[in-house]
Structure 1
Amino acid sequence: MRIIVFGANGSTGRLLTEQALAAGHDVVAVTRRPDEFPIEHGRLTVFAGDVHQPDSVDTAVAGADAVLSALGVPYSKAQITTYSEGIRHIIAAMRRRGVRRIAAVSSSAVDPKHYSEAGLLFNRVLQPYIVRVMGKTLYDDMRRMEALLAASDLEWTVVRPGGLYALPAVTDYTMVEGHADHRYTARVDLAAALLRLAEGDLFARKIVSVVTTTDNPSLFQLIRTEALGKH
């Protein structure tokens, strides 16, 4: 297969690129900073592209069997449009090029629900603050992205991970339709789930959750390593 990875230079995108190459696929890694991309391989094309530029997206998608979006941007008080504008251009390019299959990373925070094991502090204080204040503009744009995919005629899957963290290898992760009552997702498992979706029509036109159920961090560890960057 020829798989196009948008957001390839992010943490999940790099893992996804490595896994797709290891599985024998041809990969086009789309990034605005190709000189910084650390992976080299005979079946890898590093493409200098920008999802905000329709012509760039159209060129990147040419010849694809499947498209995977691992786009990511940091929280900001300013309006965020990367997810919705990017997916709008990707959908248009896929239609022009006759490509049908796409899976795109969103977040469980776009439709927040209480978690049975999380306790009052997380469910009533931390999660509402993250969703409604700290990450409001980001999650609003993710919702716009999801709506654009749902309105399209493509074979789309929206992938909603929980709190992302690092593990060295793929685990026996769970991927289920709709909400999963679990808060954490290892990036390596998210990448594996995206690749699995690209390889077939599993969960086509569905929203799925990906959760990691082993070696989870504590909430303090997650905040310390992921939000504060301390290891």
Structure 2
Amino acid sequence: MAMDRKNSSIIVFGAGGRAGRAIVAQALRRGHRVVGVVRDPARYPGLADLGDDVTVVAGDLTDASSVESVISGVSGEVAAVVNAVTPFTAPPESFDDFDDDYYVHLVENLSRAVADRGCRVVEIGLFAMLKTSDVSRVYQDVVAFPEFLRPFAVARVRGLNAWGDQPDRVDWLVLSPPPGLASHTRSTGRYRLGDDVFDPKATVHLSYADLAVAVLDQIDTPTVHRCQAAVYGLEVGA
């Protein structure tokens, strides 16, 4: 059955960030209603200007009651919830005080809130979470990934594992973009979806706009479920 876009909503947590804003814009472009969730709407006055079908609300993905309040407060069907939240805008000098279970808590909060609603959850992942073999991941490669960032990558993997522990009725997907994800990269409207193993030959950078296309494709016409999948850039004409 085709999705009735005008009578269902997409909720985007972290709507004020680069990925979140691109996802909101792409969803509106496709005719969806969108609820953009940020901690402080006053800090993102431009979000509401993206279109008539976007509503900006306050919410905190680290707070279970806040997550429940946001999702239950949306009238009509919720087609999907997107997690584009990041705990900081740039890597801190040290991760000594970073909670290893930060992403585990986000997963649990989202899972409880959507479990009985039948809506899909799409999370923006991290390339370091991708596998390089059956027993290792990108973040464990000291050449490919800076050692001081490992605690953050470990927290992301713990969150990924937490998704795998959720009930079968929770339909989730973690989309992990490549290291070449950049705001200055030109949008092509194209991308390549991979599995959970990092492809070192994938050298084409991916724009935030094209990442958003991949997210909305997996909301409108889902093809992969309950797993991590890589998203790579694709040259025009390739």
2:42 matches 1:8 = no
> What CA RMSD, in Å, does the superposition of the two structures yield over aligned residues?
2.2
1:150-161 equivalence runs, <5 A: 150-152=164-166, 153=168, 154-161=170-177
Give structure 1 stretches of 5+ with no counterpart: 115-122, 216-231
The 5-angstrom pairing of residues 47-126 of structure 1 reads: 47-62=57-72, 63-74=77-88, 75-76=91-92, 77=95, 78-80=97-99, 81-96=101-116, 98-111=117-130, 113=132, 125-126=142-143
How do 1:1-231 residues align onto structure 2 when only pairs under 5 Å count?
Answer: 1-37=8-44, 38-39=46-47, 40=49, 41-62=51-72, 63-74=77-88, 75-76=91-92, 77=95, 78-80=97-99, 81-96=101-116, 98-111=117-130, 113=132, 125-128=142-145, 130=146, 133-152=147-166, 153=168, 154-163=170-179, 164-166=181-183, 167-181=185-199, 182=202, 184-214=205-235
TM-score normalised by the chain length of structure 1: 0.79
Residue identity matched to 1:56? S
1:11 positional shift: 0.5
Note if contact 1:155-1:201 (Cα within 8 Å) is conserved in structure 2. no
Moved more, 67-76 or 43-52: 67-76
Q: AA paired with 1:92?
A: R
Shift of 1:180: 4.3
Q: By how many angstroms is 1:125 displaced?
A: 4.9
Q: State the Cα distance separating 1:126 from its structure 2 match.
A: 3.9
Cα deviation digits, residues 105-153 of structure 1 (max 9, x gap): 1112023539xxxxxxxx965424x2xx221221111112111211222
CA distance in 1, matches of 2:174, 2:34: 21
Verify the 8 A CA contact 2:15 2:37 in the aligned structure 1: yes
Query: Which one-letter code corresponds to 1:90 in the other structure?
Result: L
Question: % of aligned pairs identical?
Answer: 24
SS of the equivalent of 1:171 reads coil
Distance 2:102 2:206 in 1: 22
The answer to which structure has the higher helix fraction is 1
- Judging changes above 3 Å, is the alpha-carbon distance between structure 1 residues 90 and 8 closer, same or farther for their aligned structure 2 residues? same
**Cα distance in 1 between the residues matched to 2:142 and 2:158:** 25
| C-alpha distance in 1 between matches for 2:104 and 2:192 | 27
